[in-house]
Amino acid sequence: DLPRPSISAEPGTVIPLGSHVTFVCRGPIGVQRFRLERESWSTYNETEVVSQASPSESEARFRIDSVTEGNAGPYRCVYYKPPKWSEQSDYLELLVKGPRSPDLLWTPQ
């Protein structure tokens, strides 16, 4: 059976609003494409840009340039290595930190 993929996030899983995050999906050598899924299997990004992370591992990177509240939530990876798809990775929960409340940023004169 195919090994399950792993998922991680750089720089981390707690991202300030408007900052960037990159999801890194990893699997074995020979993966043709990686898919980054949201809560359900029907919502996903897919890439065939697969690079070799190490002699035994391949990876794909999914970057979000400016996160919004809508990007928060669970993500997971799955990959296609002919002739079949792998199982899904564990879920990784992305947390988006909003701006501080305005009264902490300025005091009315």
Burial of 72 (0-12, 13-18, 19+ CB in 10 A): middle
Q: What is the reported pLDDT for 108?
A: 57
pTM: 0.87
DSSP H or E run through 19:
none
Domains by residue range for the chain, with CATH: 6-97 (2.60.40.10)
Q: What is the reported pLDDT for 106?
A: 54
Point out which residues pair with 37 in neighbouring strands.
Answer: 44, 76
What pLDDT digit, counting tens, does each position of 21-58 carry? 999 999 999 999 999 999 877 899 999 999 999 999 99
What pLDDT digit, counting tens, does each position of 52-81 carry? 999 999 999 999 999 999 999 999 999 999
Point out which residues pair with 52 in neighbouring strands.
Answer: 58
Q: What is the reported pLDDT for 99?
A: 73
